[in-house]
Amino acid sequence: MNKEKLKVDPIKNGTVIDHVTAGKALKVADILNIENSTKEIMIGLNLSSKKMEKKDIIKIENREISKQEANSIALISPTATLIIIKDYKVVKKFGIDIPKEIKQHIICPNSHCITNHEQVKTRFILAGKNPIEVRCAYCEKKYFIDEVKFSF
Amino acid sequence: MKHLISMQDVSTKDIMKLIDLADKIENKKINVDMTGKLAALLFFEPSTRTHFSFETAVKKLGGNTFSMSGTNSTSVKKGETLSDTLMTISMYADLIVMRHIIEGAARFAAETVDVPVINAGDGTNQHPTQAMLDLYSIKKTQGTLENLTIGLIGDLRLGRTVHSLSQALSDFNTKFYFASPSHLQMPKYITDDLDKKGIQYQELEDIKEVMHELDIMYVTRIQKERFAVLEDYEKVKDSYIITKKLLEGVKNNFKVLHPLPRVNEITTEVDNTKYAYYFQQAKNGVYMRQAIITELLNLKY
């Protein structure tokens, strides 16, 4: 048994989110709203990785993360891989695409933006990938992803 | 085109089409009929110049207007949401022209109502009819929009006019000079876009050395209030005042543009030179706004 397996137990059914950008797992957990979940969840921070220098990992029992939820994670951790497990076997494995348009989840940091004044869902357009930049479809201001707050 | 909200949505083809239409209206090659149509001019933030320009444009087309300037005597003051105000107005009007201090308000309006919306300025964001009339003025004076050398001078950080204009011109292989005090430089998101498109630009503190290269100089006002220390303003202010002397040796086709109102950044002695074009530019605004209304309302001519 190698060291990594010792660190994080396998799950029977559910989702493993691997290769999460180191230090971002708690934010990802927040986005997926798993802190209020009663399911079994394991979170590993700053684990050593062959692909990345360090990575985080999240294992969620009995929950299959949807494509839309995965896209939300992409903004925080574009490197993440999702692995769907059934009966201890990998049934699906996919990297996540950064969506071209993000509806509703980003709060515009511009206090003069209409989205902070009227009942309107925010809409952001992907403006750069490395690092990730988004542009508000309303006030047209551009922000690095680290500059914005989320609501899910 | 259903609405005119941002120059980001306007293609090169749209720009050329609107310029062509404005030219036909100005030269009376067509006669557009807006009879029986009503435009709501909603200036939540008051503006004399743009307001009058739109009013003139609608009336010259044979249409009619009703107006609001400021929010003091309106239901907005009573706490009505912008959405409700717009929905109600859209029940009366065929077209909404709107200026609002909140950024993105025009986009929101276009998504809220069924009638066409024209953004007449939303906070520090966009002022697309100004950009379009600037492009029309440049085309009229230079015969083309392609391969021109254009100097933008003044407050380039907060002036939405220069942002919209530089974005719009970036599809025409323009060479830019940006002259401003260091803390009022063109924002990075604009220069990033120019970099992506491979557009040549140079940032200067003084425009003098490149005057002989320019086809157009676009002047904006530097407000004293933007300087924390008055002495700093006094030090730089003369570098951004356009005098007759500065224009010695410029190209024959050279023109000075300014969105107006002017305070002291172009001396009045320049007004009588063949290079001054800012008042004609304001007049061009009426033709361009007529063209935009014609296009959005699909008016017959």
In sequence order, the 6+-apart residues with CB closer than 8 A to the CB of A10 are: A85, A88
The 10s digit of each residue's pLDDT in A53-79 is 899 999 999 999 887 778 778 878 888
Q: b/e for B259-292, b at 16 or more Cβ within 10 A?
A: beebeebbeeebeeeebbbbeebbebbbbbbbbb
In sequence order, the 6+-apart residues with CB closer than 8 A to the CB of B144 are: none
The 10s digit of each residue's pLDDT in B177-194 is 999 988 889 988 889 889
Q: Do B269 and B144 fall into the same domain?
A: yes
Does the beta-carbon distance from B101 to A114 stay under 8 Å?
A: no
Average pLDDT for B18-47: 96
CA distance A18 to chain B (A): 33
Whether B99 is catalytic: yes
What was the pLDDT predicted at A91? 94
The 10s digit of each residue's pLDDT in A72-108 is 788 788 889 999 999 999 999 988 888 899 888 899 9
Q: Do B107 and B77 fall into the same domain?
A: yes
pLDDT band for B250, please (50, 70, 90 cuts): very high
Task: Please give the Cα distance from B161 to A118 (Å, whole number).
Answer: 26
What was the pLDDT predicted at A19? 92
Would you say residue B301 lies in a domain? no
Q: Do B110 and B204 fall into the same domain?
A: no
Query: CA angle, corner B89, sides to B85 and B92, nearest 5?
Result: 160
Q: For residues B161 and B140, which has the higher predicted lDDT (pLDDT)?
A: B140
* B-chain residues near A134 (CB < 8 A): none
CB-count burial class (<10 Å; 0-12, 13-18, 19+) for B113: buried
Has residue B206 got a pLDDT over 90? no
- Candidates B2, B29, B49, B183; catalytic one: B49
3-class secondary structure, B202: strand
What was the pLDDT predicted at B286? 98
Task: Please give the Cα distance from A84 to A90 (Å, whole number).
Answer: 6
Q: Do B112 and B145 fall into the same domain?
A: no
Q: Does A125 touch chain B (CB under 8 A)?
A: no
Segment 51-110 of chain B within 8 Å of chain A by CB:
81-83, 101-105, 107-108
The 10s digit of each residue's pLDDT in B92-112 is 999 999 999 999 999 999 999
What was the pLDDT predicted at A39? 85
First to last CA, chain B: 17
Would you say residue B1 lies in a domain? no
Would you say residue B2 lies in a domain? no
- Candidates B78, B188, B196, B245; catalytic one: B78
Q: Do B57 and B150 fall into the same domain?
A: no
Q: Tell me how many domains chain B contains.
A: 2
Strands (E), A96-131: 101-103, 106-107, 123-129
β-bridge pairing B117-122 and B95-100: parallel
- CATH number of the domain bearing residue B289: 3.40.50.1370
What was the pLDDT predicted at A1? 46
Does the beta-carbon distance from B103 to A142 stay under 8 Å?
A: no
pTM (2 d.p.):
0.87
Has residue B28 got a pLDDT over 80? yes
Output the DSSP codes for B235-255: HHGGGG-B-TGGGTT--TT-E
The 10s digit of each residue's pLDDT in A103-148 is 888 999 999 999 999 999 999 999 988 888 999 999 999 999 889 9
Domain that holds residue B245: 129-282
Least confident of A75-84, B140-149, B199-208, B280-289: A75-84
pLDDT band for B224, please (50, 70, 90 cuts): confident
User: Which DSSP helix (H) or strand (E) runs through A39?
Assistant: none
In sequence order, the 6+-apart residues with CB closer than 8 A to the CB of B297 are: B34, B37, B94, B95, B116
The 10s digit of each residue's pLDDT in B60-101 is 999 999 999 987 766 677 778 999 999 999 999 999 999 999
Q: Do B113 and B182 fall into the same domain?
A: no
Would you say residue B234 lies in a domain? yes
CA distance A74 to chain B (A): 23
* A-chain residues near B160 (CB < 8 A): none
Q: Do B93 and B158 fall into the same domain?
A: no
Q: For residues A112 and A34, which has the higher predicted lDDT (pLDDT)?
A: A112
Is the separation of the CB atoms in B79 and B98 below 8 Å? no
Domains of chain A, CATH where assigned: 3-95 (3.30.70.140), 101-150 (2.30.30.20)
